[in-house]
Amino acid sequence: MNGDSMDRDLEHSASVAAVPASQFTAGVLPNPLIDDIKSLQPKTGVLIPLKTTQEVRQDHTIVPAFITRVPAKAAAEVLGALRLTRPGGSANPLPHLRGCAKPADLPAHLKTKFMNETPEGRLVHFAKSMWLYIMCCEASDTTEEELAATLSTVSLLEGLDIWISTVPVPLVAPTSQIQAAMWSSQFWPTVYRKNNPLGPHPSIVARGTDEIKDDSIMWMTLAQRVADDAKGKGLGEAIGAVVVQRDEHGAQLVAVAGDARWHQDPLLGDVGNPMAHCVLRVISMVAQKLVRHERQAADLTLDLPTLEFDAFHDGPILDAEKQCFLQEHPNKDGYLCHGLELYMTHEPCVACSMAILHARMGKVVFCNHMPRTGGLSSDDRPDGGGRGLGLFWRRELNWSLLAWELEQDANFDLVTLDPTTHV
């Protein structure tokens, strides 16, 4: 996938998450599969946003950076010369640090150091003439000799000694105003831009939570019903998935699926058939609804093959699956699962988590965290099992979504699976 398409996909995922919550206040649309659940006594649940891998493992890496000291009147020309040395003429490579700082704005220990190094330093800090300190770049980006050569091209510095020093700075932006103030006193004047450099913007997470908090328990109740049915009929483990579309008309059921790893006994030992996990089945059912509509619109029939053994088991098997599958897709012009919501009884495994990303899902909510096998959580696996992948939000992937763990006092009891089970 090229860079342009990756950027477009990331923009799509961000725009889906950023839809104002006021557009999603129409409630849940009627459906015979959930009407009785809506009439149950409301239960409470707490949606806990998942943390990204960067949030979980942020170690506040400190790196050396070059700074210089110039007369204020030369600052603009110096900044221009530095910009020309960067790829594509990019701006400040450390945007969370102030590019220019007055001597009085430096941390106390730097002021003391620079004042006492040389007579010129004392003049800079006490004289009435205006000087500025400029953040140049990480020390790993260039050498002191190359930086000095760049600064020597600035006409307003002609005849002046080129001053360069190295200071330690935080590599990653602060995540709060308090942290920015602390870093300003410890390292260099730091800016908090009211965002989260390590994951989704706090306002996006808050809006997403507001959109789904009132009915997430209801959808999870349906997922558990399907899970119990799949387990009771011997199709698979007690795992269920529900896909929902939410727009200005309300929240509407799109697809349901239970686990079917034991269906037709694929003789795969203790793991069953991984291609029949409920996530893969429910994504396929969403896609089949879209294909069905396209073929009907073109006056074509949808003929499904009759197989002695179907490895994917992506046709409806349970009664709830059949009933939902017969209903039309609410967005007939949709693309894959773009912007849809997935509710799961358990955290999906790595393979299913990647399928969720490839399907362009918008939000995922699960109840039972699977610390050994789950693919969405970033928490380190127990007993030296390695690090969680946090696949819901990784900058090297071309799609990201919002994800929550639902702690609930609901209308059902979740089945606890063996911790080595892949969901």
Q: Is 209 helix (H, G, I), strand (E, B) or coil?
A: helix
Pick from 216, 177, 208: which is nearest to 96 by CA? 177
CA 321 to centroid of chain Cα atoms: 30
> Which phi and psi (to 5°) does residue 155 adopt?
-65, -35
Q: Which residues pair with 405 in a beta bridge?
A: 48, 366
Q: Are 87 and 93 in contact (CB under 8 A)?
A: no
Contacts of 145 (CB under 8 A, 6+ apart): none
Write the single-letter amino acid at 173: A
Whole-angstrom Cα distance, residue 380 to residue 383? 9
Pick from 199, 196, 197, 208: which is nearest to 393 by CA? 199
Pick the CATH number of 34-56+202-408 from 3.40.50.720, 2.102.10.10, 3.40.50.300, 3.40.140.10: 3.40.140.10
Pick from 220, 255, 215: which is nearest to 239 by CA? 220
Q: Are 282 and 312 in contact (CB under 8 A)?
A: no
Query: Over its length of 423 residues, how does the chain's per-residue pLDDT go in tens digits?
Result: 444 444 444 444 544 444 444 455 568 999 999 998 887 756 678 999 999 998 887 767 899 999 999 999 999 999 999 998 887 767 778 889 999 999 999 999 999 999 988 888 888 888 666 899 999 999 999 999 999 999 999 999 988 899 999 999 998 888 788 989 999 999 999 998 887 878 898 889 999 999 999 999 999 999 999 999 999 999 999 999 999 999 998 999 999 999 999 998 766 667 789 999 999 999 999 999 999 988 888 888 777 777 667 778 889 999 999 999 999 999 888 888 999 999 999 999 999 999 999 999 999 999 999 999 999 999 988 888 888 999 999 988 999 999 999 987 655 566 778 888 998
Tell how strand 250-258 and strand 363-368 pair up. unpaired
Pick from 346, 356, 339: which is nearest to 394 by CA? 356
